[in-house]
Every structure is written in structure tokens, then in C-alpha cells.
A and B are shown apart, each in its own frame.
Chain A
């Protein structure tokens, strides 16, 4: 398949593996930000091809993983209302709330639908004027433009039966939170290619400078990951820091300017709690006051939510790169993809699910 096979070529991959081995002289810890990257690493066995000095830790870039429990409980409460058509991306369906998930709400008769684009939810609202259509707007900077577009369109159309339950998060504040933590282990980053395709990489330059850390915006195919790892390790070995772009076929320094403009028109930066991590200042996007009518959390009064996290799940430590999934006592035992205790076991982008699915169970 064109534009895929080229990046999965075994001979080319082996060349990069050798180059990484040659350049590495001491231990380094790298974090790949995005769960999609984690997935490729484990799926293709990339970590097993690297020198043992290099440790890859898996970052917080899994939208379903970091969505706060309280918001999932809110989503579930809204989805149970008879007048509501609750729409969401597929992998939010199975994320465990305090006592249920959206799949079980659907099984109990709730009108929960899986969509591929928030714009389909707008269409659904047009087609069902007597129902309330709610879209679960989660994700990083990658999904923000499409969600902004949905709200913007709904406003133009004058739809009063469309709203979003919003939990957008931003990568740079999370990276700063990790780097400024006294427990931090991460020495270099593979930044998330798709986020950078939207936002560019100019935002990362001050972070690289402030924390003297190499950062490489990196793609999602095996060769992308290997090249990204090579770039970061080489910078570390040479004592350099800064941003070097691996994903040149998709990412520019400025990013997608019109998408950024649209996001700014609809959303504003706000503090945001991250599941398992806590509140990170200025790390989220919320609807601007002029679009507040489209906020489902305001439209549907949801009270009496008492959240209850699993007491054994260590998702937070995993997403900060402090621990690996198999170091969790519940991993593969009480916590499996069929019965997840924490969100990282749900999505294919979650580190625990990647470890579980591809057999990284230490026995």
C-alpha cells in the first residue's frame, strides 16, 4: 500500500536500528507522547529492537485515558436521558465510569451512537429536531478543529438541539508538567505527529530551551518512530537540545493556520483535570462565552455525581512515565480490555491495552 509500505520496510528499519545502536553510548529515557506511537512501538516490536540502554516510556497522549472520570459519569447521566441522542467516537464507548460505561448504557436502552466525525452529529441534530443531540468532544489538538467546526456550523444553522460535552486537552502544558515534576525520568520527547500537523512545532521550542530537552515531532509508522528515536538519542549523545522535525511529510513549524484560527474562534484555554494526573493549569480548551449555549454540561443539569476511581489502578503513574503497565498489580488480572479498571486498558491508544493485546505480560 502506497505511503504505508515504504514506512514498514524491513531493510530500512534495520538500517535505523543499527544506526541507533551505533550512536548510543549511555542510558537514555525517552517518552513518546501519543498513544498511537505507543501502539506502533509495541505492535511492531520496536522496543525489542533497541539497545538496552534506551528506555521508552509511554506518554499521556491517549484522549480517552485522560478524560476525567467525573466527565465520563456526566456523559453517562446525559446519555441515559430519553430525549438525548448521545454521540461519541468509538473508543469512548467502553471507558469505565464510576459504575457503568456508555456501552452498557446502550445495552440498557440509551440512544448511544458511534460516529466518525462531529459533523455527523450536527447532521443528526438537523434530522432529529425533536431530540437533543450531544457529541462527546474529547481529544487533543488533533480533534479540536473538527469539534470547533461542528459548534461553529451548529451556530450558523441556528440549531438549538445540538451541544457538546467538552474535555479538550493540550499537549505542551502536559509536557511541562512532566518535565517540572521532581520525579521526572524523561530526557527527550517524541512529540505527537498529528497534534503537530495541526499546531506546528513552534510551541515546543520554548519548552526545549527551558528544560534543555530534545524534542522530535514524530510520525506513527515504524520507520518514523525509529528515525524519531535516532534523532533524539543523537541530540542527547551530542549534548544538544531543541526541536528537530522527523515528520516533515506532515508537519511544518507553523502548522495548519486556518485550523488554529477556527479553534481560537470557538474555544478558549482553561484549567483542566487529567484523569489519573490531576489539574494541570491552562491545559484544556473550553467553549468561549459566545458559544456557551452549546455546552452540554450547562444545558443538562447533572448533579449528584460521586466519582469512585479504582483503588488499585495506577493509570496516573503510567501516563506520567513513572511506571509501566505490567508493573500494575491489576494488569491482566482484575484489569483486562473486557473489564478495564482504568482508561488506558480501553483504547487501542492506551498503553495498558497495547501491552495486553500484544502480549507484554511478564510471567
Chain B
């Protein structure tokens, strides 16, 4: 029996198999291959208006309350790194996704996929770290699941956390709300997390230890919303794919252009040096405690003050502006005054030969 024609068509993989017969690491890298997978496969298959927003957290109306709902899996290697571990990261990651919808976290789930042979001592450290991170945020871990896979079929431990949060009245954060005239801020130096992980993973040694910036941003976001309220148009945490990919997503969703000033983007000396050595562009390196805020021009100065007054925003800066020109694209004014496009991360960043 042959299937009806429309069913056959709908079962065809929307990503040409001839291009990608297998999943590549870059499909999970947060750049354009990830975006292609999400937009051409997942959004088409799951097809609904909430998903289509492609916000860090889905926003649902439940009997008049607006709930934010988000999930994230953590597959980081090594499990323990300078500035954090997979446990604290799993809590911060989901709390931050909720915060990017303006939500206060209400509860988290924790699903562990453990590899046979993981030292119990390591597991205990991870669990304690999750509990400490959740207690610091003030969010309970209210449900969970545990699976164990054969040795060699996992990387020690994978963690999935899902979170639910409540969005205060009057807050309407959405990637589509970026509009010409708005100002882009970030709460501190970029690329710490990616470089911290890279240095441990690759055994690179620098004069100082570079620490991950992994931190929960709900409190900083609450302070921001408390001060400028609806003046906050978009929030985004630039994790995988970095600041460049996050801003490109915003520019594309809102059909606006974004203009960055390279000199204004905060970055630590040692992180910049590491990026120079490895041939990485810090704009594409992951962050785990950073928040890009697109705010109304009238709210920009207040937003900057509030960020700088918060422990996680001392080095906050205005890094760019939303413009009418070149909709969907991000431009950067280089240090010497030339202008260039900042595109989505394409594939993975690979260290260069020389």
C-alpha cells in the first residue's frame, strides 16, 4: 500500500540528507546549523505558535497568569571546571532561560543520565552543587529522574533541567520587540565561560586561571524590570554561539539592524589574549552569566546604572544600537574604524593552523 502523497511529502526530512547524512557536532553548536535544525526540522514538525517565537523560554497563559517554561540539557566536559561544575551550570542555565522571559523561577526539575562507573563522590559533589545553586536562587528542585547508561555510552553525567516561572504583570519581553532607536547593553565581560572550558579541556595554561562566568541572572533581571519595566524590550543570554549569534537571532526575529561598537564590548585581557592565540572571535564564544538587554533609548541610562549597581553587572556597558538599516543583520565598527558584518556562527570555531 502506498501512502497518500501529502503524507509522503510531509515525512521527507526537510534538511537535505545529501548535505548532512549524519548529525555533526556543529548541529549543537548554537550557530547556523543549530538554527537550521530548529527552524527546518523541529519547528516544522512540532508546529505551534508558542514554539515559533523561539524565545529562550516559552510563554503560556494559564488562567490569567503568564508562565514561562524552559528546558535545557547539559553535556559539558569536564564535569568540574574553574568557576563552576555541571550541577551549578544546570541550575543557572535554566534559571537564566526563564529570566530572559522576565520570569521569577518557581520550580525546577532535574533529570540525570549517569554513566556506569561515575564515582559516587563526583555525583555527590554535583548534587550538592545543584542544591547550593538552587538555594542561592531560592528555587526548589521539585521533581526528577535518574537513568544509568553503559560505560562508554555517556560522558560521566548529563543533566537536564526544566523550569517553570511566573512573569510579572506588564512585562512583555519578546525578541520581536527590538525597534530602531533601542540600545543594546550587556552586564559584563564576554567569552569567559567558553575560554575557561576550552583551557581545561585542551590543557592550555595561562598565567592566570580564567573562570567561567556561570551565574544566575534572575535577580539582575528583576532589578532591571523593577527600574525600567516595559522599557526592557528583549533579553537574551548569549550562551552557545555567543553574543554574535544571539544578536543575529534578535535582528532576524525583529527585522531590524544592529550596530555594535567593538571598543565598547567589555572583555577581560586574559580572555582576549586566549582568543587571539587560538584564533577565536570572542563574539562567538559561550557565556553562562551574561545577559544582553535591548531597552528603549529613554531607559538606557537607568538600565546601565541598575546593572552596574548589581554584583553581576559591575562592568556592564552599552555595546550597540538597534537601527532601521540592514534589517536582519548585525554590523560592527572595528577598532580602527572600518565596518564589517557580524554573522551567525557558521559551523564550529576551529583553532587555526598558524
List residues of chain A with CB under 8 Å of any chain B CB.
1, 4, 8-10, 13-14, 36, 42-46, 48-49, 63-64, 89-94, 103-104, 107-108, 114, 116, 138-140, 142-143, 194, 222, 336-339, 347-349, 356-359
Contacts and interface: CB of A to CB of B under 8 A. Distances in A.
B354 A48 contact: no
Given A108-B22, A116-B202, A44 B336 contact: yes
Contact of A94 (B276, B339, B347): B347
A143 B354 contact: yes
Nearest to B36: A338
Nearest to A139: B353
5 contacts: A1-B276, A89-B351, A116-B351, A348-B352, A358-B340
In this complex, the member of B32, B347, B354 whose beta carbon has the largest number of chain A beta carbons within 10 angstroms is B354
Interface stretch (B23-31, B112-120, B310-318): B23-31
Main SS at interface, chain B:
loop
B230 interface: no
B354 A36 contact: yes
Interface in B4-56: 19, 21-26, 32-33, 36
Contact of B338 (A49, A338, A357): A49
In this complex, the member of A14, A114, A142, A348 whose beta carbon has the largest number of chain B beta carbons within 10 angstroms is A348
Interface string B311-354: 00000000000000000010100111111110100110011111
B272 interface: yes
B169 interface: no
B335 A44 contact: yes
Contact of B337 (A14, A36, A91): A14
Contacts of A338: 26, 32-33, 36, 346-347
Contacts of B181: none
Contact of A104 (B24, B272, B335, B351): B24
Contacts of B273: 1, 4
B339 to A, nearest CB: 5
Nearest to B335: A8
B279 interface: yes
B351 to A, nearest CB: 4
A43 B26 contact: no
Contacts of B338: 44-46, 48-49
Interface of B: 19, 21-26, 32-33, 36, 202, 204, 269, 272-273, 276, 279, 329, 331, 334-341, 343, 346-347, 350-354
A49 B346 contact: no
A357 B276 contact: no
A347 B276 contact: no
A357 B351 contact: no
In this complex, the member of A90, A108, A336 whose beta carbon has the largest number of chain B beta carbons within 10 angstroms is A90
Nearest to A47: B338
Given A94-B347, A358-B341, A45 B354 contact: no
B206 to A, nearest CB: 13
In this complex, the member of B22, B33, B343, B346 whose beta carbon has the largest number of chain A beta carbons within 10 angstroms is B346
B338 to A, nearest CB: 2
Contact of A114 (B26, B36, B351): B351
A115 B337 CA distance: 35
Contacts of A104: 21-22, 24
Rank and list the top 6 A-B pairs by shortest CB-CB distance, nearest first: A45-B338, A359-B341, A90-B350, A90-B351, A337-B346, A13-B336
A303 B157 CA distance: 42
A276 B279 CA distance: 25
Contacts of A63: 353-354
A335 to B, nearest CB: 12
Contacts of B276: 1, 4
A258 B248 CA distance: 48
A142 B19 contact: no
A98 to B, nearest CB: 14
Given A91-B352, A338-B26, A349-B353, A357 B336 contact: no
A142 B22 contact: no
Contacts of B269: 1
B334 A43 contact: yes
B354 to A, nearest CB: 5
A1 B272 contact: yes
Nearest to A358: B340
Nearest to A360: B341
A222 B336 contact: yes
Contacts of B329: 359
A46 B21 CA distance: 40
B40 to A, nearest CB: 13
Contact of A103 (B24, B272, B346): B24
Given A89-B353, A142-B354, A222-B334, 16 more contacts: A1-B269, A13-B336, A36-B354, A45-B340, A49-B337, A90-B353, A94-B350, A103-B26, A107-B24, A107-B25, A114-B350, A116-B351, A143-B354, A348-B279, A359-B329, A359-B331
A336 B336 CA distance: 28
A111 to B, nearest CB: 14
Contacts of A108: 22
In this complex, the member of B26, B33, B279, B334 whose beta carbon has the largest number of chain A beta carbons within 10 angstroms is B334
Nearest to B275: A1
A8 B352 CA distance: 21
Nearest to A108: B22
B347 A10 contact: no
Nearest to B263: A10
Contacts of A14: 336-337
B354 A10 contact: no
Given A44-B334, A336-B346, A358-B341, A91 B353 contact: yes
